[in-house]
Amino acid sequence: MTVSSDAGEPKFKINALYKIFGEEPEIALKALRDRNLTKSELLEEYNHVLALEDINFNAKAGEISVIMGLSGSGKSTLIRHINRLIEPTSGEIIYGGNDILSCSADEIRQIRREKMSMVFQNFGLLPHRTVIQNVGLSLEARSFSRKRIFSEAEKWLDEVGLQGYEGKYPDQLSGGMQQRVGIARALASNAEVMLMDEAFSALDPLIRSDMQDLLLKLQKGLRKTIVFITHDLDEALKLADHLVILKDGKIVQQGDPQRVLVEPEDRYVFDFVSDTNRARVLRVRTIMEPISSSSHMFIEGEIDQEETLETMIKLSGGDISKNYLVKNGVDSVGIAKMERLLEALVPVKKNEIRSKEI
Amino acid sequence: MSIYEPVFSAFGLTEWCQGGNGKGDNLTSLTDLVAKARGEGSANLSLWELPFPSMDALHASCPAFPKSRELSKGIENVFLDIKDSLSLVLDPLTQPLSWLLEGSLWLFETTPWWIMIPALLAIVMLVGRSLVLVCFVAAGLIGFAFVDYYSFAVQTLAVIFVCSLLCVIIGVPIGIAMSRSNRLQRSVIPILDMLQTLPAFVYLIPLIFLFSVTEPKLYGIAIILYAIVPVIRLTDLGIRLVDVEVLEAATAYGLTDRQKLTKVQIPLALPNIMAGINQTIMMSLSMVVIASLVSAPGLGVLVLRGIRNLELGVGLLSGLGIVVLAIILDRTTKLALARITPGHRR
Ligand SMILES: Nc1ncnc2c1ncn2[C@@H]1O[C@H](COP(=O)(O)OP(=O)(O)OP(=O)(O)O)[C@@H](O)[C@H]1O
Ligand SMILES: [Mg+2]
């Protein structure tokens, strides 16, 4: 598991989190631990659903952590533990030095109002309120003055490109616009953590791509700690600084999304990543090799480390014998070979790579 | 009829049966005679004629067994026994209802017609925002006044006004409480079912026992019990139907339970609550007519006069008046409902 991002300290840490749905989760948890049951055995013998199993993950400040998994893998359950919309069966979530899961009702309400905002798959807007009243929701919960709520809300509506829609009702807007309202509402609370549960899944592909761009643009200026949930790999790769792959309530792999792409840990992740257009998402830094003084090779030109492989292919005009010097700003950080690039375009399982190296 | 006598003797109860009076012997022999006349044994009477082993049938075989009237008499006696202590508690508790009804009747009756009619029209305009409806209401009220039914119609309105208002004041909080607790909901729903299915007349019986017929609260309680059901049911339903994701969003942004109730749940449940209020008003109207049996004033009195004195015209005309009143109340509340339902605003 590689963690390569250089961003700040963890904003919050999830340690050994378990969630079991059912009548008596404590008993089921004990049985799970003592007898090493699987998810399906627990369902069969105890009629309890094991939604999350031993989740450990840190969300770094200022990064977008993307949690990806198929339907029913426990993504929504996981994200709802962070602001405690769901009570855990066992485990802890450390935020600001405290365990969120042992906060009092007042403390958790405080955190929800000021520290953590949330964006929902089906927007979760109040249908009986105008756009601007929706955006001001968290400020209203904090009983700010009307004037202040209005000016804050107005500011964030402009930020998401919805000026002029203040007085409309949610059902008068398109899906994409409604989710912009949802994002403005999250931003207006001025929270440092933003939880997004399949925020763009209900939108059609073009609008979806727009919204991803909007999020990235906002994130550049705001540097929030975002937890983003999706079941779409392309979306995950576009947004993620840190990628977590969830399967049946368990984390099967997490780390730098580029690493996950080139070194999938198991069959499940492999199947996930083999469908994607790798030339478009893999970056030059992922395939570069260290500069070694011993080898004498012909360098064709220079390329930035954050460029995609697609750009490099274009640059080379399809000639597979070419090599490029990889730059990070002004520094030279490695060599990228077209040969290596071709190899990286074919998905390979991590252990296959290993066996080849031996 | 002593067909069940063998049953009693089989259990060795013959003694007990005849303890009451000595007629048992006679009856047996009489039945035996009948059976003999038919040429059958006393035991195998035709199956077709087998009476159900009801209290009365068993009494016939065993005089010591109580008749069914004795059961209902027992209920009466229990009622009479607890009546005094019960009304000691209920009387002061429900006294404000009498005052409210008397006050409202006084207000509606003493206000001169030339203030009352425009005031009612103004309210209808304010609530319904429809000129057509206002014209209909005006025509209705003027019609009532012209045939000298105005004071009766206004009395009915006064009673409905107080009772519906109380239904809302009591019913909405009960509905809210029910929506928050499944246990409470499970225990209240059978009561609501009972209140709704009991024939309207049956309500009146225990109330007549408890209160004097001359007190307004008697019919007030009857109307409220009968009409409160829909507003409770629909408040509960409306709040339970609020979209879970919307409610989750409210929780996620740190709204307190109270804020969620006033800012999210009640506003979103309002169309359903209003539908409940509409039904409550309509049920108050139907009950106030029936309650004229226990001295509720208004158009019901005229209907009753029509039946008692066979004044066909009075009965029909006042019946028509009730229909007009029903239409007015229904349309006005429905228009108000449509205005607050999402998709109709702006
Ligand atoms: N309230 C609940 N009671 C019982 N089981 C639940 C409950 N909520 C979720 N589950 C179960 O927990 C598991 C994870 O559900 P969750 O909703 O977190 O999945 P998800 O990854 O968000 O899926 P989707 O992509 O469909 O939203 C599922 O098996 C689901 O059936
Ligand atoms: Mg989900």
DSSP per-residue letters across A53-105: EEEEEEEETT-EEEEEE-TTSSHHHHHHHHTTSS--SEEEEEETTEEGGG--H
Which of the listed residues B13, B41, B66 is the one where a domain comes to its end? B66
Q: Is B209 exposed, middle or buried (0-12, 13-18, 19+ CB in 10 A)?
A: middle
Considering the domain architecture, whether residues A237 and A92 belong to the same structural domain is answered as: yes
In tens, the pLDDT along A259-318 reads 888 888 888 888 888 888 888 888 888 888 888 765 667 888 888 988 888 889 998 888
Q: Which residues pair with B338 in a beta bridge?
A: none
Ligand 1, atom 22: nearest CA belongs to which residue?
A: A76
Considering the domain architecture, whether residues B208 and B160 belong to the same structural domain is answered as: yes
Give the single-character DSSP code of A348: -
**B59: which residues sit within 8 A by CB, 6+ positions away?**
B65, B66, B67
The pLDDT of residue A2 is above 90:
no
Considering the domain architecture, whether residues B257 and B329 belong to the same structural domain is answered as: yes
Alpha-carbon gap, residue A142 to A137, rounded angstroms: 9
CB-CB: which of B254, B268, B342 is closest to A141?
B254
In tens, the pLDDT along B314-346 reads 999 999 999 999 999 999 999 988 887 765 444
Considering the domain architecture, whether residues A207 and A108 belong to the same structural domain is answered as: yes
In tens, the pLDDT along B55-91 reads 888 888 888 888 888 888 998 888 888 888 888 888 8
Q: Write down the pLDDT at residue B22.
A: 46
Considering the domain architecture, whether residues B20 and B120 belong to the same structural domain is answered as: no
Q: Stretch A327-355: mean pLDDT, rounded? A: 80
Q: What is the number of structural domains in chain B?
A: 2
| Residue A63 included in any domain | yes
Considering the domain architecture, whether residues B128 and B150 belong to the same structural domain is answered as: yes
Say if the Cβ atoms of A137 and B250 lie within 8 Å: yes
In tens, the pLDDT along B97-148 reads 999 999 999 999 999 999 999 999 999 999 888 899 999 999 999 998 999 9
In tens, the pLDDT along B215-225 reads 899 999 999 99
Which of the listed residues A211, A243, A273 is the one where a domain comes to its end? A273
Listed range (A138-152, A299-313, B167-181, B273-287) with the worst mean pLDDT: A299-313
Considering the domain architecture, whether residues B142 and B283 belong to the same structural domain is answered as: yes
Q: Write down the pLDDT at residue A332.
A: 86
Backbone angles phi, psi at A323, to 5 degrees: -130, 150
Considering the domain architecture, whether residues A329 and A264 belong to the same structural domain is answered as: no
- Band the pLDDT of B267: cuts 50, 70, 90: very high
- Band the pLDDT of A1: cuts 50, 70, 90: very low
Query: Chain B: nearest CA to A112, how far in angstroms?
Result: 5
Sheet holding A90-95, edge to edge: A49-60, A10-21, A90-95, A98-99
| Residue A159 included in any domain | yes
Q: Which domain covers residue A327, as residue numbers?
A: 278-344
Sign of the torsion angle spanned by Cα atoms B3, B4, B10, B16: negative
The percentage of residues in chain A with a pLDDT greater than 70, rounded to a whole number, is: 94
Considering the domain architecture, whether residues B147 and B282 belong to the same structural domain is answered as: yes
Q: Write down the pLDDT at residue B203.
A: 79
Q: What is the number of structural domains in chain A?
A: 2
- Cβ burial B71-88 (10 Å sphere, 16+ → b, else e): eeeeeeeeeeeeeeeebe
Alpha-carbon gap, residue A52 to A247, rounded angstroms: 9
Q: Stretch B202-224: mean pLDDT, rounded? A: 86
Interface test with A, best of B239, B246, B251, B253 (most A CBs within 10 A): B253
Which of the listed residues A273, A295, A322 is the one where a domain comes to its end? A273
Considering the domain architecture, whether residues A191 and A295 belong to the same structural domain is answered as: no
Q: Is B241 exposed, middle or buried (0-12, 13-18, 19+ CB in 10 A)?
A: middle
Listed range (A94-103, A148-157, A250-259, B2-11) with the worst mean pLDDT: B2-11
Q: Write down the pLDDT at residue B4.
A: 82
Considering the domain architecture, whether residues A88 and A187 belong to the same structural domain is answered as: yes
| Residue B345 included in any domain | no
Q: Write down the pLDDT at residue B84.
A: 84
- Band the pLDDT of B25: cuts 50, 70, 90: very low
Mutation pick for ligand 1 pocket among A19, A20, A21, A121 (CB with most ligand atoms within 8 Å): A21
Considering the domain architecture, whether residues A290 and A336 belong to the same structural domain is answered as: yes
Q: Which residues pair with A116 in a beta bridge?
A: A193
Alpha-carbon gap, residue B52 to B54, rounded angstroms: 5
| Residue B141 included in any domain | yes
B209 vs B94, higher pLDDT: B94
Which of the listed residues A222, A245, A273 is the one where a domain comes to its end? A273
Alpha-carbon gap, residue B263 to B265, rounded angstroms: 6
In this structure, the residues whose C-beta lies within 6 A of any atom of ligand 1 are A 21, 49, 51, 69, 71-77, 231
CA-wise closest residue to A192 among A62, A94, A6: A62
Q: Does A120 touch chain B (CB under 8 A)?
A: yes
Considering the domain architecture, whether residues B210 and B257 belong to the same structural domain is answered as: yes
Q: Which domain covers residue B49, as residue numbers?
A: 5-66
Considering the domain architecture, whether residues B223 and B93 belong to the same structural domain is answered as: yes
- Band the pLDDT of B245: cuts 50, 70, 90: very high
| Residue B333 included in any domain | yes
Mapping DSSP to helix (H, G, I), strand (E, B) and coil, where does residue A215 land?
Answer: helix
| Residue B268 included in any domain | yes
Ligand 2 center to residue A86 CA distance, Å?
Answer: 13
Ligand 2 center to residue B218 CA distance, Å?
Answer: 56
Which of the listed residues B66, B86, B116 is the one where a domain comes to its end? B66
Alpha-carbon gap, residue A130 to A165, rounded angstroms: 9
Complex ipTM, two decimals? 0.85
Considering the domain architecture, whether residues A234 and A103 belong to the same structural domain is answered as: yes
In tens, the pLDDT along A63-76 reads 999 999 999 999 99
Q: Model pTM?
A: 0.83
Q: Are A230 and A70 in contact (CB under 8 A)?
A: no
| Residue A27 included in any domain | no
| Residue A124 included in any domain | yes
Considering the domain architecture, whether residues A246 and A298 belong to the same structural domain is answered as: no
| Residue B346 included in any domain | no
Q: Write down the pLDDT at residue A137.
A: 93
Which of the listed residues B43, B66, B89 is the one where a domain comes to its end? B66
* Domain CATH code at residue B196: 1.10.3720.10
* Domain CATH code at residue A321: 3.90.1280.20
Query: Chain A: nearest CA to B167, how far in angstroms?
Result: 26
* Domain CATH code at residue A116: 3.40.50.300
